[in-house]
């Protein structure tokens, strides 16, 4: 199969390396000609993924129409806020039989749409898929064992893409729950910012475990209302991605959180990370969704106050910790289930 990857940031480049390593021909599109020239000359993405050689099967290009027209599979690897724009740019030369695979993790600001819905809006005749899960670009590019999930509406085409992406070091599972896998990928970034803040404040492993566990609880609460299967949040696209993002120094969300916890301002933090920190926009959208649907999301709410209302992270932690007492599972299952009246 011929493939194009739109977006030569860290994830687009790593996926191109993965597929080219298996003999697939990959057009790697980037919007800036100077970066394309640098990729061609050095055979390395020194800005976004330094230290990994680009296999010969990768063709860097700034010609969007050529890259798209020649491909059977189009992989969208730009940040979530650019997904609609890239679809608008390609809609005149996309064919209905081309598969579109989104690998970005986020929700659209304003509309609250999941990214597959945004893509469907602009490319209504294409089959849309999502590839997600615990997968830092730096490790995938080095061939370190990784597991992810692919989701889409048709089982057969999902399995076909499962085969395309699978390698001995990259194991792909299918999951038909598009809503769940997309929400898991988008919402874990909020909790990862929180985990970073906790680290930046000098809090310990207990605090991080609390954030991760109560984080997946609030993700599941919102996800259930939005139509996801709660089991999905116990899988790779849920707790799996949450674990990797909250614990890894590769995570831009966690690193941004650390700097915030150390007292830096959001604009300074985003400048110094220099790559997309999806959790910031996701926090805004998730907070609006939680208000719209009346779902309690104390961690997301706290993050919103830190990011957009200049709240002191320590005060936010105190506020979260001193809410009224609760049962652990009350939001998800009836207490009768546990044998209590």
Ligand X SMILES: O=C(CO)COP(=O)(O)O
- Per-residue binding letters, 78-117, with ligand X (x by CB under 6 A): ---------------------------x------------
The Cα 282–Cα 197 span in angstroms is 16
* 184 contacts 223 by C-beta, under 8 angstroms: yes
Residue 103 binding ligand NDP, by CB under 6 A: yes
Residue 134 binding ligand X, by CB under 6 A: yes
Nearer to ligand X (CB atom), residue 64 or residue 211:
211
The Cα 251–Cα 254 span in angstroms is 5
Pick out residues in 251-290 that bind ligand X (CB under 6 A): 251-253, 278
* 196 contacts 255 by C-beta, under 8 angstroms: yes
Whole-number Cα distances in Å, 122 to 81, 85, 249, 265: 14, 9, 35, 36
142 C-beta neighbours (distance < 10 Å), count: 15
* Residues near 175 by beta carbon (within 8 Å), at least 6 away in sequence: 149, 150, 151, 181, 232, 235, 237
Catalytic choice (91, 188, 292, 326)? 188
Residue 238 binding ligand NDP, by CB under 6 A: no
Cα angle 154-156-160, degrees, rounded to a multiple of 5? 120
- Per-residue binding letters, 18-57, with ligand NDP (x by CB under 6 A): ------------xxx---------------x---------
Q: Which of 169, 225, 270, 275 binds ligand NDP (CB under 6 A)?
A: 275
The Cα 29–Cα 35 span in angstroms is 10
* Residues near 113 by beta carbon (within 8 Å), at least 6 away in sequence: 107, 121
Nearer to ligand X (CB atom), residue 175 or residue 253:
253
Nearer to ligand X (CB atom), residue 27 or residue 172:
172
Nearer to ligand X (CB atom), residue 10 or residue 127:
10
Side-chain-side CA neighbours of residue 150 (13 Å): 23
114 is annotated as contributing to ligand binding: no
Q: Is 188 a catalytic residue?
A: yes
Residues that bind ligand X (CB under 6 A): 105, 134-136, 189, 192, 241, 244-245, 250-253, 278
Binding site for sn-glycerol 3-phosphate: which residues? 105, 133, 135, 188, 241, 251-253
Catalytic residues: 188
| Binding stretches for ligand NDP (CB under 6 A) | 7-12, 30-32, 48, 77-80, 82, 85-86, 103-106, 135-137, 275-276, 278
Q: Which residue positions form the known binding site for substrate?
A: 105, 252-253
């Amino acid at each position: 199969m011929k493939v194009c990857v739109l977006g030569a940031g860290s994830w687009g480049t790593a996926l191109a390396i993965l597929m080219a390593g298996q003999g697939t021909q990959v057009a790697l599109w980037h919007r800036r000609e100077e970066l394309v020239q640098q990729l061609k000359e050095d055979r390395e993405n020194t800005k976004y993924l330094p230290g990994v050689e680009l296999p010969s099967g990768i063709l860097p290009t700034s010609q969007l129409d050529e890259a798209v027209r020649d491909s059977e599979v189009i992989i969208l690897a730009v940040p979530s806020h650019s997904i609609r724009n890239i679809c608008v740019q390609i809609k005149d030369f996309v064919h209905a039989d081309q598969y579109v695979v989104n690998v970005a993790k986020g929700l659209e600001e304003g509309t609250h749409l999941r990214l597959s819905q945004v893509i469907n809006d602009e490319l209504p005749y294409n089959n849309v898929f999502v590839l997600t899960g615990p997968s830092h670009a730096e490790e995938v590019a080095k061939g370190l064992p990784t597991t992810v999930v692919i989701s889409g509406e048709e089982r057969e085409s999902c399995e076909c893409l499962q085969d395309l992406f699978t390698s001995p070091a990259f194991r792909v599972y299918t999951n038909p729950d598009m809503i769940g896998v997309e929400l898991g990928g988008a919402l874990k970034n909020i909790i990862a910012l929180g985990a970073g803040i906790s680290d930046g404040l000098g809090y310990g492993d207990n605090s991080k475990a609390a954030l991760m566990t109560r984080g997946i609880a609030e993700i599941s609460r919102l996800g259930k209302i939005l139509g996801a299967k709660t089991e999905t949040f116990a899988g790779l696209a849920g707790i799996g991605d949450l674990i990797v993002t909250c614990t890894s120094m590769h995570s831009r969300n966690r690193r941004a959180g650390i700097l915030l916890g150390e007292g830096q301002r959001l604009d300074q933090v985003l400048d110094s990370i220099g790559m997309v920190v999806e959790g910031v926009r996701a926090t805004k959208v998730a907070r609006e969704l939680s208000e719209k649907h009346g779902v309690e999301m104390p961690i997301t709410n706290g993050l919103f106050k830190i990011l957009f209302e200049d709240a002191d992270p320590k005060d936010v932690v105190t506020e979260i910790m001193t809410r009224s007492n609760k049962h652990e599972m009350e939001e998800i299952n009836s207490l009768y289930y546990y044998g209590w009246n």
